[in-house]
Amino acid sequence: MSLDQDTGARRLTALLTEDPQVRAARPLGDVHARVTAPGSPLGAIVEAAMTGYADRPALGFRRTELVPDPHGATVRRTVAEFEVITYRTLWERARAVAAAWYADGVRAGDFVAMLGFTGVDYTVLDLAVIHLGAVAVPLQSGAGAAQTRAILDETTPKVVAVDIGHLGTAVEVLAAATAPPMLVVFDYFADDDSHREALGAARDTVPDIRTLAEVLAHGSRVTPAPHVEPDDDALALLIYTSGSTGTPKGAMYTRRLVAAGWQPTRPYAVINVNFLPMSHIAARLTLDAALARGGTAYFTAAPDISTLFEDIALVRPTEIFLVPRVCELIQQHYRDVRERHPELTDDQVRTSLREELLGGRLLTVSCGSAPIAADLCAFVESVLELRLHDGYGSTETGGGVIFDTRVMRPPVLDYKLVDVPELGYFGTDKPYPRGELLLKTTTMIAGYYRRPEATAAVFDADGFCRTGDIVAELGPTG
């Protein structure tokens, strides 16, 4: 089938007419103007969004209920229903955490490391870090204790916040520390026997562990943290690379660069599903842009995408950022349905996937983090009846720089291809020049934290960032 380029526009018109949730998620003109005002500092941008959309639903999470497990303990289990918190509640919690941490000596420029699953509590902590002018250090949940220890040794955080599922890793890393940082545990339910048991065992090794609920209670009793707005070039975020070729390197994001992710240019309604880890720049850009627009960001119930399609069906998002693995799972669903229901036509199966599995409200769908095969992309587009936008970017470039094979200007200021003779790529190649892509962008990182040699290696003599990726130049604009 041919892809209908007008499908998204027609769906949007229909949703704005017929769907009150989508209609209510449209950005407000005056708030959007304040959020996107040129030169606004990060703290002011975030506060403008939080207060301007105070009564709107900000974050959605799966509801849980208490059930007995086979061993007689009482544990929390997710149910097929989402709850939401408003921007007002989100901001009140973030400011309470900031107040508690400030009372305990956390100041602008201090590091706060976070290890855990993307969700409401994680977002609260992230916003508290911004409010304090501190530096967020999202840790990779799949990293082992040795890699985590190396990052904590390098950054010496004042606070380490960890979800209950990764508490054991944090305790292992911090147990031998001579001056351990404040340890905060989130996504913790005091009425879940397994959570209480894990916390009790951890406190046997590291006695001074606080739950997020305790931090919030403390913050409600102390003087609010003063408004601090560090310089735009002050460090705000460290995104550590995978470390597959050695010790991980912390890509330095200034407050100006983080602010850019909070200033989306296009004001449209966003209801999305978030499943990528916050140690991934794409996850942060997806979440921040939704909140900046006054939309609602929902989180999956499990970090391993095992509930992803159930979550999508419940939320019925208007926007989602996919990775190739999820696209493969959509194709597998198609094959499974065709096999189980041979009586259905091909169009009926694709319609079922679009309307039921994927919620039936998608307006914008992008895929990134790794290349997607052309045939898989075409298949997903045939299901969506939308273009699957292909994004390219990296931690070092500050996110997306190529969209649907075209160089994005902004943020790209200039680019060039450099010959890679050892691999056989040259600017003289026909029919298209080929080589390593080097870029100058408004969102490039400042370098790697405490790694001057690695910083020097990632930039050439003219200040272009080396991506390490081979591309072909298909036309004068990329």
Q: Which residue has the tokens 């983080």?
A: 258
Closest CA to 130 of 87, 169, 77, 94: 94
Q: Which residues have C-beta within 8 Å of that of residue 125, sequence separation ≥ 6? A: 94, 97, 112, 114, 161, 184, 186, 212
Reported as a single tens digit per residue, the pLDDT across 82-99 is: 999 999 999 999 999 999
pTM of the model: 0.94
Q: Which residues have C-beta within 8 Å of that of residue 342, sequence separation ≥ 6? A: none
Between CA 35 and CA 265 the distance in angstroms is: 10
Whether residue 439 contacts residue 433, with contact meaning beta carbons closer than 8 Å, is answered with no
Whether residue 254 contacts residue 235, with contact meaning beta carbons closer than 8 Å, is answered with yes
Whether residue 383 contacts residue 338, with contact meaning beta carbons closer than 8 Å, is answered with no
Other C-beta atoms closer than 10 Å to the C-beta of 88 total 15
Between CA 317 and CA 270 the distance in angstroms is: 8
Whether residue 34 contacts residue 53, with contact meaning beta carbons closer than 8 Å, is answered with no
Q: β-pairing, 406-407 with 319-322?
A: unpaired
Per-residue pLDDT of the chain (478 residues; tens, 9 = 90+): 344 456 778 888 999 999 999 999 999 999 999 999 999 999 999 999 999 999 999 999 999 999 999 988 999 999 999 999 999 999 999 999 999 999 999 999 999 999 999 999 999 999 999 999 999 999 998 888 989 999 999 999 999 999 999 999 999 999 888 788 999 999 999 999 999 999 999 999 998 899 999 999 999 999 999 988 999 999 999 999 864 456 789 999 999 999 999 999 899 999 999 999 999 999 999 999 999 999 999 999 999 999 999 999 999 999 999 999 999 999 999 999 999 999 999 999 999 999 999 999 999 999 998 899 999 999 999 999 999 999 999 999 988 899 988 999 989 999 999 999 999 999 999 999 999 999 999 999 999 999 999 999 999 999 999 999 999 998 876 4
Indicate the SS3 state at residue 288: helix
Between CA 216 and CA 163 the distance in angstroms is: 15
Residue type, 10: R
Q: What are phi and psi of 79, to 5 degrees?
A: -120, 170
Residue type, 472: A
Return the CA Rg of the chain. Answer: 23
**pLDDT computed for residue 194 by the predictor:** 97
| Distance of alpha carbon 416 from the chain centroid | 29
**Domains of the chain (ranges, CATH numbers):** 61-228 (3.40.50.980)
**pLDDT computed for residue 7 by the predictor:** 76
Whether residue 436 contacts residue 472, with contact meaning beta carbons closer than 8 Å, is answered with no
Residue type, 223: T
Indicate the SS3 state at residue 139: coil
Q: β-pairing, 388-394 with 399-403?
A: antiparallel
